[in-house]
Amino acid sequence: MSPRSASVNEELRRRSRERLLQAAVELVDERGFEATTLGDIADRAGSARGLVSYYFPGKRRLVQSAVHRLMHRTLEEALEREPRTEDGRERLARAIDAILGLAREHPVLMRQHMAGLLHEEGFVQCPEQQRLSELLGDTIARGGAADVTAGYPMLRALLMGAVYAALVPGVPMPIPVLRAELFERYGLDGELGRPPGGDTDAEPGRGDLSRFFATEKQPDEGE
């Protein structure tokens, strides 16, 4: 068998990383952060344990990158769904609903993510987080923010605060109340967007996440 080309090897590495990201969100969503080991993630991904350490410096960094991927792809999907729109207010409403929807549909995963942000390792500046930042920045710009530099971190902070408030054990705030507060903050009509929990939403925690990860196995892919 002839050696694989550099481009094929690069593609295989990319797909291995995608499988690890998908396995991380699935397992933490099912079991929680502490009950999920790197070995579990490697097994679910069909990868060697050494590959996890090759791509990520630790479990917390892997999980945070995986959740950022889920967030930016969920946001992207909401912004680009049919009917497509360039209306900034509708796009901002969709963005708010998409993030609140994650809190509703994946409470264990998002609660672990919020806890991880307060860990000493702090906020991960990874490609997934950067894409999320770009989407939110574009959304706030189209929504009419006079100062995008200040508007983006404020939107991010308000969304993080809303997710935290929705997931506090014992005293969670209802997502419709949080949505109404955010919509009022940005002057959005309640008819915009798609409220989390609507008839078109999947059941909480049951959505198939595979569409957010390019993990197709190629014919020439080895172990």
Find the domain containing 155 and state its range.
6-194
pTM of the model: 0.86
Domain-embedded: residue 1: no
d(C-alpha 49, C-alpha 43), whole Å? 8
Total of domains in the chain: 1
Give the CB-side neighbour count of residue 93, counting CA atoms within 13 A.
18
Residue 219 covered by a domain: no
Q: Is position 220 within any domain?
A: no
Q: Is 157 contained in some domain?
A: yes
Whether the predicted pLDDT of 6 surpasses 90: no
pLDDT tens-digit series, residues 65-124: 999 999 999 999 999 999 999 999 999 999 999 999 999 999 999 999 998 888 766 677
| Phi then psi dihedrals of residue 169, to 5 deg | -60, 130
CATH code of the domain containing 106: 1.10.357.10
Burial class (CB in 10 A: 0-12, 13-18, 19+), 82: exposed
Tell me, yes or no, whether 182 lies in a domain: yes
pLDDT at 201: 45
More confident residue, 84 or 214: 84
Whole-number Å distance between alpha carbons of 95 and 75 = 6
Inter-residue contact 91 to 85 (CB < 8 Å): yes
Q: Is residue 18 included in any domain, yes or no?
A: yes
Specify the pLDDT at position 12: 76
Q: What is the pLDDT of residues 113-162, one digit of tens each?
A: 998 888 766 677 788 889 999 999 999 999 888 888 899 999 999 999 99
Any domain includes 206: no
Flag whether 170 is in a domain. Answer: yes
